[in-house]
Amino acid sequence: MTTSSLSMNGSSNIRAVTLGQLRTFLAVAQAGSIRGAAAALYVSEPSVSATIAALGRELGAPLTERVGRGIRLTEAGRELAAYAARILGLADRARRAVREAAGAPGHLRVAAVTTAGEYVLPRLVAAFLARRPGTEVSIEVGNRAETLARLAAEEVDVALAGRPPAAVGIRGEPFAPNLLVIVGPPGHPLAARRAFPPTLLSGETWLLREPGSGTRENALEFLAAGGIEPGRTMNIGSNGAIKRAVALGLGVTLISLDAVAEELAAGELVRLRARGTPLRRAWHALHRDGGPLPPSALAFLELLRSRRARPAAARGSGPAGRDADRPPHRG
């Protein structure tokens, strides 16, 4: 293997598949068209077509097929797409690790689910850069499904999320508590009650994050376990929009305390202390198992490990945060 090609010897007499070919192929897979890939790569469409055709010949299988005026990946192409993403990600990881070993500034690639990306990760990155001020940091934020996909494809070194996936090859390390609370608008009739039966929340409009969100999964599990029958549900794609909708009286929601600590302290939202809440979860640092990580990624993981016993690293301080740590009142 050279810096630009992968040698593959086998019955197909494959000579060499270059990283450039894989990069072009992956651009086609992501864009869904030759034109889109050419625009993304700033090359001509004939150049992209020729590269895909040559790659198919090297591998001994057609990678795309025409559908009307467009194209789609063949079964072989879909199989290659997953490998191509990982190969390119590993190549980039190797390049960064070598450069860091030679004394160049590091480059940390990290992804986070939306809540962690908005309310947990910024403080951690600030602490990390205080330790390693010359490091470049790239951050990707999305829902749980998007974040796990980036990690699986080697697009990032570390991901911050809730429960680790069951997928083989991904390791999760808890580093901070993640308390999920139910919130409603000021003046909600249940705001003054403690440890009330969850079924009293039946008939409410429940505001849920979009499909693919870990918070949504937790909310649906809580509704089912508590025997709660929503009057209706509403899907909203961001924490900020959900908080605003709750404050305006459009419904109630289950959400991370990290996301609402300030609003609770300011009285803009109120806790609804249904029995069994808060749900006690943990934030996890996820990374691929069995492969080396660049020094910058290892340093970031070490920072998270050093903060496991320091909840303030991931949770807002103040009255709302302190109150949430207490067990629900059972009297």
Q: Rounded CA gap, 273 and 193, in Å? A: 7
pLDDT band at 25 (very low <50, low <70, confident <90, very high): confident
Lookup: tokens for 220: 């649906």
Half-sphere CA count of 258, side-chain side, radius 13 A: 27
Task: Output the CA angle 12-34-147, nearest 5 degrees.
Answer: 85
Whether residue 133 has pLDDT greater than 60: yes
Residue 312: its pLDDT value, please? 41
CA dihedral of residues 302, 306, 311, 313 (deg, nearest 10): -50
Q: Strands 170-184 and 279-288: what pairing?
A: antiparallel
The residue among 2 and 135 whose pLDDT is bigger is 135
Residue 48: per-residue pLDDT: 87
Strand partners, 286: 159, 172
Q: What is the pLDDT of residue 310?
A: 53
Is pLDDT larger for residue 253 or for residue 63?
253
DSSP 34: H
Is the pLDDT score of 329 beyond 90? no
Neighbours of 113 (CB within 10 A): 28
pTM: 0.72
**Residue 33 pLDDT more than 90?**
no
Is residue 151's pLDDT more than 80? yes
CATH numbers and ranges of domains, the chain = 5-83 (1.10.10.10), 92-176+282-313 (3.40.190.10), 177-279+319-324 (3.40.190.10)
CB half-sphere exposure, 60, CA atoms < 13 A: 9
- Whether 101 shows a pLDDT value over 80: the answer reads no
Residue-level pLDDT at 57: 86
Asked if 270 contacts 264 with a C-beta cutoff of 8 angstroms, the reply is yes
d(CA 279, CA 217): 13
d(CA 173, CA 301): 9
Q: Are 237 and 209 in contact (CB under 8 A)?
A: yes
**Helix, strand, coil % over all residues of the chain, rounded to 5:** 45, 25, 35
H-helix or E-strand containing 20?
Answer: helix 19-31
Q: Is residue 128 predicted with pLDDT exceeding 90?
A: yes
C-alpha closest to that of 209 among 246, 180, 238, 250: 238
Higher pLDDT, 285 or 292: 285
Residue with tokens 């069994």: 276
Task: Check residue 168 and give its pLDDT.
Answer: 65
C-alpha–C-alpha distance, residues 126 and 89, integer Å = 25
- What is the DSSP track for 255-279? EEHHHHHHHHHHTSSEE-EETT-SE
CB 251 within 8 A of CB 205: yes
| pLDDT tens profile 73-86 | 888 988 888 888 77
**Is 269 strand, coil or helix?**
coil
**pLDDT tens digit sequence for 62-73:** 888 888 777 888
Nearest to 116 by CA among 89, 146, 136: 146
Asked whether residue 243 carries a pLDDT value surpassing 90, the answer given is yes
Kindly indicate the confidence band of residue 315, based on its pLDDT and cuts at 50, 70 and 90.
very low
Higher pLDDT, 184 or 105: 184
| pLDDT over 70 percentage in the chain | 87
Q: Which residues contact residue 310 at a Cβ distance below 8 angstroms, ignoring those fewer than 6 apart?
A: 176
The residues, any chain, with a CB within 8 Å of residue 61's CB and separated by 6 or more, are: 74, 76
Banded pLDDT at 256 (limits 50, 70, 90): very high
CB 199 within 8 A of CB 226: yes
Rounded Cα distance between 37 and 104, Å, is 32
Helix axes 257-266, 239-247, angle to 10 degrees: 30
